[in-house]
Chains A and B, each alone.
Chain A
């Protein structure tokens, strides 16, 4: 039953992948103008040179031909070569994806670990000073743009601390060029971008858990649990939290695309060599093949995230059956 369900979901996702990649290509194709990817404007280039370069990249063909051949390549596991530097798209993705996963997974983990207690405390002490303070911080989390928060953290933790001769945190990159690469070095680089990214998650999720928890705590089975003589802690965390977390799963599943999009701003601000920054830079340069490759993987992540969320639902909520 479950296998059949997954198979059907995957089959349906083929349509999604086709749609997303087609729209991406159309957008790039229609906005490119006379630009040749990877070629800076150069007065010595003759029109026939440009025509030849475009033909080499396959850009003289109508976009649907290009698309079909791209699909053909993907079906054979070939994502083509970057139009800018000629290396394979796959090598870029393999190079960048782990960094992004490292950053986002850390942020999601911190987000959950912080958001759950914050949300529960807000629900249990609704209307108290603590609750109001947490609300203010959460709203700030939505309202403050990530790039600004990133720059402020860099200003404080990288610039000011260093100026005062205090221990400071690196502002960019995933490792130090000369003495870097070990775990500690990686963690140092991870702190600031993961903080910025998780702050956003904490803000959203804690609000969500708070309202979800409030609803659950007014349910009859919570009254039953209290009438059984359980401690308030057991009532809240064992009987309440699991029910309150069910709707959160969807939200987290939907954050998986943040592997590419949500992390993009943070990756750019902190020079994090992730897949979001790759897509961003290559999109500006009209590197069709790289952008298409990244889009393809991002779409897969979205689909996988949603599917995973739906399956996790079933684990947390026994009422859900797949069919």
Chain B
């Protein structure tokens, strides 16, 4: 495979709290290739957003304490703040979960959407605005030139997310990080926004990192996915393979906890028992072992590494690494 566009290597991000150090991102590694859509899946608090924020170096008050983020031959964790600003919004754009609060309420939408090109490309207000209007039209905002004069509160949630996407695209970035872009939206609007992200990926060739807790979204959008649990990547691989044959019990449990329309017979949905672990005080060994139905004695003792399991996937699990198949319990 060709050189990855973005390569996260053994990233560690921690937060200091009164209770202790929270290892929000604990040795995460993955690659993103040009033009692909990569899904990052996991429960709330598993570190997927902090991973994204760490790539952008916006993880404050958290601190990156180890690892590299290689992008175009430079390590983003090492470059100066000034150089990082040139990357943010220009090479790597980001859209967020809640479009209702992610736009500044006191400035017009057009002004905000045109800000990146004014800033990064040095365009004058008129040129930047006309490009912003054009982009708003392309992301599906009707009568964009009139709506660009609106304030965010005059936009619906779906339109605001479209505006956020337009704002990210004006500088034609190479990477778009979408952090739960549809979570706050109605189901029908979710589908529209996902369609839009897919079109963007195809038309602009923008490599996309899609962070979500919704496996259905991943199935429809991503060529590859990584599954995170308690700050670590527990499984990674092509979406189709992971869905067909999960190699980590957590992924396996996640897939069993959602209804599938194409299931041959209707199995009862099985929730994952227990709660995500406290990140200050992780269980010994594999962090998932207290909730795992396949656990063996070793799981509570040693931390499994993320290694090749099966043809295309990697998983951090003693059970599957030993060759055991995950079968219904």
Contacts and interface: CB of A to CB of B under 8 A. Distances in A.
Interface of A: 219-221, 223-231, 234, 239, 242-243, 246, 316-319
B119 A220 contact: no
Interface string B134-160: 000000000000000001010000000
B169 to A, nearest CB: 12
Contacts of A228: 88-89, 93, 115-116, 119, 167
Contacts of B90: 229
14 contacts: A220-B102, A221-B103, A224-B104, A226-B88, A227-B94, A228-B93, A228-B167, A229-B87, A229-B120, A230-B119, A243-B106, A317-B106, A318-B151, A319-B151
Given A227-B58, A228-B119, A242-B106, A221 B87 contact: no
6 pairs of A and B residues whose beta carbons are closest in the complex: A229-B89, A229-B88, A228-B89, A220-B101, A318-B151, A221-B104
A223 B59 CA distance: 10
B164 interface: yes
A224 B93 CA distance: 10
Contacts of A318: 105-106, 108, 151, 153
A230 to B, nearest CB: 6
A230 B104 CA distance: 14
A221 B99 CA distance: 9
Contact of B102 (A223, A229, A231, A317): A223
Nearest to A242: B106
B96 to A, nearest CB: 6
Contacts of A219: 101
Contacts, number: 69
B96 A225 contact: no
Interface in B166-183: 167
Nearest to B115: A228
Contacts of B72: none
B106 A226 contact: no
A286 B192 CA distance: 74
Contacts of A221: 101-105
Contacts of A243: 104-106
A224 B152 CA distance: 14
Contacts of A317: 105-106
Contact of B58 (A223, A234, A246, A319): A223
A316 B105 CA distance: 10
Contacts of A319: 105, 151, 153
A321 B272 CA distance: 49
Contacts of B301: none
Nearest to A317: B106
Contact of B106 (A229, A230, A231, A316): A316
A246 to B, nearest CB: 8
B43 interface: no
A128 to B, nearest CB: 14
B241 interface: no
Nearest to B101: A220
A218 to B, nearest CB: 11
Contacts of B10: none
B85 A230 contact: yes
A14 B153 CA distance: 35
B93 to A, nearest CB: 7
Contact of B85 (A223, A229, A239): A229
A234 to B, nearest CB: 8
B175 to A, nearest CB: 12
A262 B220 CA distance: 66
Nearest to B91: A229
Contacts of B281: none
Contacts of B101: 219-221
Interface string B44-69: 00000000000010100000000000
A227 B85 CA distance: 8
Given A226-B88, A229-B87, 18 more contacts: A220-B101, A220-B102, A221-B101, A221-B103, A223-B96, A224-B102, A225-B104, A227-B94, A228-B89, A228-B93, A228-B115, A228-B167, A229-B88, A230-B115, A230-B119, A316-B106, A318-B106, A319-B153
A223 B153 CA distance: 18
B153 to A, nearest CB: 5
B187 to A, nearest CB: 22
A223, A228, A230: residue with the most chain B Cβ atoms closer than 10 Å = A228
Contact of B116 (A229, A231, A242): A229
